[in-house]
Structure 1
Amino acid sequence: MGVPLAILDLAIIGSGDSVADGLNACVEVAKTAEANGYSRVWYAEHHNMDAVASSATAVLIAHVAANTESIRLGSGGIMLPNHSPLTIAEQFGTLATLHPNRIDLGLGRAPGTDQVTVQALRRDPRASEYFPQDVLELQAYLGDSTRVPGVNATPGRGTHIPIYILGSSLFGAELAAVLGLPFGFASHFAPHQLREAVALYRSNFRPSEQLDHPHVIAGVNVIASDSDDDAQSQFTTTRRARLRRFLLKPNVDVPDAEVDRILASPQGAQIAAMMKHTAVGTPAAVRDQLLEFTEYAEADELMVCHQSPTVEGRLRSIELTANAMELVGV
């Protein structure tokens, strides 16, 4: 069997689309992933982002789970410093009770937003300093014995939902290793420390009750299409959209030629470098690139972020990639 493929669905609200359109697309993506043999679909917690609809991550997972049959669903991730461990245990415990053996809990320590929004969330910016302790507290709530005497998660207790540590630095790699948990690296947008983090995780891994050997999930972008020209055109559109989102003022019309000039500049090159690990092209070409990336990342599983700018393009990319990687659907 080849490397398992999962999907990170960014719950994108496309240009001219409504929030409802973005949420409905999540259901279509999950159904297509389920039919084509992907191992799981995850959603990321982001706040105050006009183009992302996954801010209420657990609610979105519940909606998608109710409209699919068997595929695993989870967070990629919940930004734990934004929440109390008890709240997350109760939310995901509810999901796991309603949808047994289908729920994953990926955890990150970044806020998933800017500092002004952190204040709006009523969170202490220093909360991330307690991330390791909060992970242990959350893990206990989902297990059989709480770390807070007299406090239990209902639902949650005894569900033993698998926890994954997610990150883009060495901190997450070391924590995942010490706790004996699977580690997911966000190389789909922060590629620089991928190999160093994976090496650190594997060399320091300690077996745990959840996991007896290291498990690395590496993020990678994919745009698969029936023709290379179309795939490259989609990739160009995606790169332009990312630069507009991160560097340009909102609601300001900047011609594509100017955007391309900025992308070629040192400032724009930093944005372009975020998508260093992107497989683009026909199914055969994407397969070769994904196999090469799997070896480069020493990955046990790939978390694929299909980056086509339209829902139709993403659904087609999901199907073509699954066929190329010989996944077995339901």
Structure 2
Amino acid sequence: MSTPLSILDLAYINPGETAGDSFRASVDLARHAEEWGYRRIWYAEHHNMSIVGSSAPSVLIAHVAAQTRTIRLGAGGIMLPNHAPLSVAEQFGTLETLYPGRIDLGLGRAPGGDRQTLRALRRDPQSGDTFPEDVLELQGYLTGRSRIQGVDATPGKGTDVPLYILGSSVFGAGLAAALGLPFAFASHFAPAALDEAVSLYRREFQPSEQLDAPHVIVGVNVVAADTAKDAREHLLAAQRRRVIQLLGRAGVEVPARAAEGVLETPAGKQVLQHVEQEMACTAVGTPTEVKDYLDRFTDRSGADELIVASLAVDRKAWLRSLELLADVSGTAGA
């Protein structure tokens, strides 16, 4: 596989774990991924989700960067409407100053949480409408060409932290194309508009100081194991975790003793259909089977880079899945 591979670490807090356990696992993964040759690791901003620990990506990036040497680290992404562009520029300017040449900044316009969470974040529900202007304001701080007279980001000014536009629709694709920025599509959970979005981005791309040609990063789930049977079992566990999470958000609590059988309940079966649609872009099986899937997926999507999320719930299997992928792909960061 010649397509560069990167990792999306969702910082899951698995049953019986704490957030601290999740962060230790993220450090362990990053150290291994560095050895295995992955290009970058991104962490996504989520709020009010009991199974996701990456609510503060910039802090997590700093923690992991301090315990690794070379791998690129970034946000995939920061939900910009939740933040003042100046504050984001200062945070990532600080990171770039501490770890030069290793920091990425992916930007999304989604809230990263539900309506009640928006209220708790003091976020205006309409703030996403100014996303394009906020991206340009943030870019100005990082390049040293502030759009607000007399206001600079310190640290941040002149660090030129590379920006990436994230999206699951044609809106993000169009914006990334107009601004001449790399585009990362979230097909690992929202695959429906993948082909349309990538086509639009490539067709409308305008070169910029940061990027002279289109660059598409496509998200895809991976469950690789030594046997196909093991891989299927790990996928089932991941689907079960997601179903329980969605049921919980709908107010249906699943007791631990009932977790194993949740997919057989009427409510579980109904939610599972949605989860299977979310996970439509998932490579499952032995390393060879996973590689074959990813090769076909790359050809179909036109991706310049794949960012993979290991779905395995078991920590050893989660790490092993990414190791097997690196092994079968040759040099992952080629």
Match of residue 255 from structure 2: 252
Gaps of 5+ in 2: none
2:322 aligned with 1:318, yes or no?
yes
Amino acid at match of 2:79: M
Match of residue 65 from structure 2: 65
Offset from partner CA, 1:73-114 (integer Å, 9 cap, x none): 000000000000000000000000000000000000001001
Shift of 1:247: 2.6
Work out whether residues 44 and 78 of structure 2, in 8 Å CA contact, stay in contact via their aligned partners in 1: yes
Gaps of 5+ in 1: none
Residue range with higher mean Cα deviation, 296-305 or 264-273: 264-273
Match of residue 6 from structure 2: 6
2:292 aligned with 1:292, yes or no?
no
Match of residue 164 from structure 1: 164
Work out whether residues 207 and 213 of structure 1, in 8 Å CA contact, stay in contact via their aligned partners in 2: yes
For residues 258 and 82 of structure 1, do their structure 2 counterparts lie closer, same or farther at Cα, with a shift above 3 Å needed? Answer: closer
Provide the secondary structure at the position in 1 that maps to 2:50: coil
Amino acid at match of 2:326: A
Amino acid at match of 1:106: G
Match of residue 203 from structure 1: 203
> Which of these residues, 256, 281, 286, is aligned with residue 285 of structure 2?
281
- Equivalent residue runs for 1:165-180 within 5 Å: 165-180=165-180
Distance 2:233 2:129 in 1: 43
Amino acid at match of 1:67: Q
Provide the secondary structure at the position in 2 that maps to 1:41: strand
Match of residue 143 from structure 1: 143
Match of residue 47 from structure 2: 47
Amino acid at match of 1:250: E
Shift of 1:260: 3.8
Shift of 1:271: 1.8
Work out whether residues 243 and 268 of structure 2, in 8 Å CA contact, stay in contact via their aligned partners in 1: no
Amino acid at match of 1:109: R
Distance 1:260 1:293 in 2: 31
Work out whether residues 34 and 329 of structure 1, in 8 Å CA contact, stay in contact via their aligned partners in 2: no
Offset from partner CA, 1:128-156 (integer Å, 9 cap, x none): 00000000000000002100000000000
- Equivalent residue runs for 1:20-39 within 5 Å: 20-39=20-39
Work out whether residues 224 and 324 of structure 2, in 8 Å CA contact, stay in contact via their aligned partners in 1: yes
TM-score normalised over the length of structure 1: 0.97
Distance 2:7 2:47 in 1: 20
Distance 1:57 1:243 in 2: 25
2:98 aligned with 1:95, yes or no?
no
Provide the secondary structure at the position in 1 that maps to 2:220: strand
TM-score normalised over the length of structure 2: 0.96
For residues 255 and 82 of structure 1, do their structure 2 counterparts lie closer, same or farther at Cα, with a shift above 3 Å needed? Answer: closer
